[in-house]
Structure 1
Amino acid sequence: MTLPPKTRYPGYDVLQKRDSVSWDDATRAVIDERMAVPATPVFCDAVQWRALSALCDCLMPQNAASADRPMIPVAALVDAKIASNHGDGYRDARLPPLQQAWRTGLAALDA
């Protein structure tokens, strides 16, 4: 028997507010852009993609997709962020650049 996931606000779904006054056009555009991720990796090769997907599944496990709640494509979102080569606005100068750091880290996970 599978128990339903524990939520802080049972029955509340922020995505149901999409067409309400709670979301403006800018909010809808940002969410649409974030959810429009390619089905295939942009940055990662096949080996890196498997490592990234496994990492995301371990760090952010999700319940199975349903008709009203698809799974969030976490690995694809991370892959797109790496491919854009835009960090979060800060980086320790002693560390390698963003894409090189991810290649090194994913290779280490694969090994």
Structure 2
Amino acid sequence: MTLRVFLVEDSKTIRDNLVPTLKDLAHADVIGVAEGEHDAASWLAGQPESWDLAVVDLFLKEGSGLGVLKRLQSRLPRQRAVVLTNYPTESIRLRSLALGADAVFDKSTELDAFFDFCLRPAAA
């Protein structure tokens, strides 16, 4: 089964590299992309059940990934949300997990762990 990913990332370079890598390494299709909190909220409101994994950066062009995580708190049990950030401080990790993130990954040092997470089935 193909993993359906919603990506919230404002960097075009990261998106351009992450989308094909998710397909190759995690058998995932990125079905939606947003660069800011408002666009992410709009997409999620229109597609509440169409995605399996939300990948959220914290520092966005508009708004914050923390605001996106708040909106994801009412997701279905099969849907997961992860933070993929360049700033994985302990306080960021704790705050993200408190807002409902299933995991937090460092873009520069934890990509293998991120892709391993993507390959694991969600607990129902």
Q: Considering the TM-score relative to the shorter chain, is it more than 0.5?
A: no
Q: What's the TM-score bracket when you normalise by the shorter of the two chains? A: under 0.3
Q: Normalised by the size of structure 1, how large is the TM-score?
A: 0.25
Q: Normalised by the size of structure 2, how large is the TM-score?
A: 0.24
- Whose strand fraction is larger, Structure 1's or Structure 2's? 2
- Whose helix fraction is larger, Structure 1's or Structure 2's? 1
